[in-house]
Amino acid sequence: MNLEEKPLNQNYIFRGKIVNLRVDEALLPNGKTAAREVVEHNGGVCVVALTEDNQIFMVKQFRYPYGEVIYEIPAGKRDSKQEDPLACGKRELREETGMTAERFIPLGELYPSPGYCGEILWMYAAVGLKSGENDLDEDEFLQVERLPLQRVVDMIMSGEIKDAKTQVAVLKVAELHRQGKL
């Protein structure tokens, strides 16, 4: 069964600091055409920083689109489409928490909302942590907390933690931990 859609043309509506928006015309498998709204983003990285006593670093941050302060793991977007995800992850972890790590373990990628958005998020676990100074962006306000891994899993299972990357990356770390691989 052919599922593929072919781009016929691209029309940029907006080029911003965080996202671009375009509306393409696409050729569907049945020969018809349809409009496709696409949000472009440089992609980003998130990190589950796990201490030796099984705590993880969590960040409380106001998220403007929801008007809420929510819990997330440390994360940030790439400076460009070319930036190496691991380098970005190391930088964001240090900037937000002051931590560096001996070892970064890839946890795979995450497509946040594949119907209309092309963002890729690379996920890592970080172990062998060493503390240093954090270094926030000028317009970044956040509060760092350490919580036990199991407590964060419970907050995910109860629905209290809603952020997609945090749910995926922490549940993966819990599974690897259960398998003795972390």
Q: Return the active site residues.
A: 138
Q: Check residue 96 for interaction with its own copies (CB under 8 A).
A: no
Whether the CB-CB separation of 121 and 88 falls below 8 Å is answered with no
The three-class DSSP label of residue 29 is coil
Q: Which is nearer to its own copies, 159 or 180 (CB)?
A: 159
Q: Which tokens belong to 123?
A: 């996920």
- Residue 62 CB, nearest approach to its own copies (Å): 4
Does the protein bind its own copies through residue 128 (CB under 8 A)? no
Residues of this chain, 102-121, that bind its own copies according to CB under 8 A: 106-121
Q: Which of residues 56-95 bind its own copies (CB under 8 A)?
A: 60-66, 69-70, 72, 77
Q: How far is the CB of 104 from its own copies (least distance, A)?
A: 15
Residue 127 near residue 103, CB atoms below 8 Å: yes
Rounded to whole angstroms, how far apart are CA atoms 83 and 99?
A: 20
Site string for its own copies, 28-47 (x = CB under 8 A): xxx-x-xxxxxxxx------
Q: Give whichever of 23 and 87 is closer to its own copies, judged by the CB atom.
A: 23
State the maximum Cα–Cα separation within the chain, in Å, rounded to a whole number.
Answer: 58
Enclosing H/E stretch for 144: strand 142-148
